[in-house]
Amino acid sequence: SCKQFPTGPIDTTSCDFETVESVNDALYTHLHDLVQTPFFKYFRVDLYRDCPFWQEHGLCMNRECGITTVDEKEIPEIWRAAALSKVEIPHKDQLHHLPGCYYRDSDFCFLDDMSEGDYVDLTLNPERFTGYTGPSAHRVWSSIYEENCFGVSHFDTLGAFTEEEEAKTCLEQRVYYKIISGLHTSISTHICYDNFNQSTGEWGPNLQCFIDRVASHPERLEYMYFNTVLLLRAVARIGPYLSAYDYCGGTGNHETDPYTLGELNSVINIAQNVGKFDEKTLFRGPNAEILKEEFKQHFRNVSRIMDCVGCDKCRLWGKVQTSGVGTALKILFELDEKALDPKLNHNLLSRSEVVALINTLHRFTESLHAVNEFRDMWQREETAQ
């Protein structure tokens, strides 16, 4: 059964798997072009903060774990200045500061203090197999699942939510779990798709890796679609704001601006048709505010756990993606229509939040694209037998 495409409605959305499949090629192509543009490829990140939860963490010495940083001078000054301006550093009353990072009440993740950190060209540091594994990687995943999943632990169990688990958990808890598990699935898909074969010394897709980690757990695959729809809904909601954003970066290079905007508008257009997730169904009951606060606190913890990932490249993408998902959650659950109006609130999102959101959506569409390639490989292998 794990060879089948998932079909029918995607749980907790008004979208189905077939619809996502039908747009994913176009979506992936536009996003793939978009993330190569100067605005979207440079990301500022502090990769060298201490792990706040435990003392030591393994350091990955593999060459593939390393990243290349960019000399700050290559970054348009306006983006550097913006990183230090009030856009990034909110008003003191709303600011919860910890060494090297902070969050505002509305944030679902800790954000890096923009006075620290390096610029990274994300296109030069693709997410793929690095060889990071063992107790350090497992400790990070297990603390994400076991400590931050409201007690919903699927760790080392197979299958989707059982009836008993459904009865014991609320919708918000299940959504939370799907987000985390879907993110884990997407990371695993990238590892298997851009995999290093130690016996041949070659890079390429590793079908068995994909079968073991993803395809033999159909619910994991489903959660990846779920995450894609959730991110698309966030992009659809923030669409007018994104269309009004300045992508030129004050470089005077206006040629990049219409191109970036054109690609982005194509993505927003698809998002408006496919991002059918109704955020209003969550956080409605009598304990809604408490539950939302708990949800935020857990997700913020996950963003901090990224400082415990013992491989620079994995940490980079872990930070980009938790920040991207956190931005989507903020757009869905914290901002009303008035706040989303670009004329009234042109400083709503920082540049790094916009970059993280789009790059995270790109990661998920790339994973779905890889899933199709794996299905073709599987088919070819079966035919050949």
Is the Cβ of residue 13 or residue 195 nearer to ligand FAD in the bound state? 195
Q: Which residues of the chain form contacts with ligand FAD (CB under 6 A)?
A: 127, 129-130, 132-133, 137-138, 140-141, 154-156, 181, 184-185, 187-188, 191, 213, 220, 309, 313-314, 317-318
Is the Cβ of residue 264 or residue 308 nearer to ligand FAD in the bound state? 308
Is the Cβ of residue 132 or residue 226 nearer to ligand FAD in the bound state? 132
The CB-of-224 to ligand FAD minimum distance in angstroms stands at 8
The CB-of-123 to ligand FAD minimum distance in angstroms stands at 15
- Fill in the DSSP letter of residue 16: B
Is the Cβ of residue 156 or residue 202 nearer to ligand FAD in the bound state? 156
* Residue 350, beta-bridge partner list: none
Structure tokens at 335: 């901002």
Active-site position among 15, 149, 308, 314: 314
Helices 312-333 and 351-384 pack at an angle, to 10 degrees, of 110
Residue nearest to ligand FAD according to CB distances in the complex? 314
The CB-of-309 to ligand FAD minimum distance in angstroms stands at 5
Active-site position among 101, 149, 248, 311: 311
314 tagged catalytic? yes
Measured CA to CA, the distance from residue 178 to residue 87 in angstroms comes to 31
51 tagged catalytic? no
The CB-of-213 to ligand FAD minimum distance in angstroms stands at 6
Is the Cβ of residue 42 or residue 132 nearer to ligand FAD in the bound state? 132
The CB-of-165 to ligand FAD minimum distance in angstroms stands at 13
Contact 67, 309 (CB under 8 A): no
Measured CA to CA, the distance from residue 185 to residue 200 in angstroms comes to 26
The CB-of-209 to ligand FAD minimum distance in angstroms stands at 8
Q: What is the 3-state secondary structure (H, E, C) of 98-116?
A: ECCEEEECCCCCCEECCCC
- Fill in the DSSP letter of residue 304: H
Local structure of 184: helix, strand or coil: helix
Helices 256-274 and 218-237 pack at an angle, to 10 degrees, of 120
Within the chain, where are the H helices? 17-34, 38-41, 77-84, 135-148, 163-168, 171-193, 207-210, 218-237, 239-243, 256-274, 288-305, 312-333, 351-384
Is the Cβ of residue 51 or residue 236 nearer to ligand FAD in the bound state? 51
Backbone angle region of 134, left / alpha / beta, with phi > 0 → left and psi within -120 to 50 → alpha: left
The CB-of-317 to ligand FAD minimum distance in angstroms stands at 5
Q: Which of 172, 146, 218, 187 is nearest to 324 (CA)?
A: 187
Is the Cβ of residue 196 or residue 259 nearer to ligand FAD in the bound state? 196
CA distances from 298 to 2, 54, 110, 146, 292 (A): 31, 17, 11, 11, 10
Positions annotated as catalytic residues are 311, 314
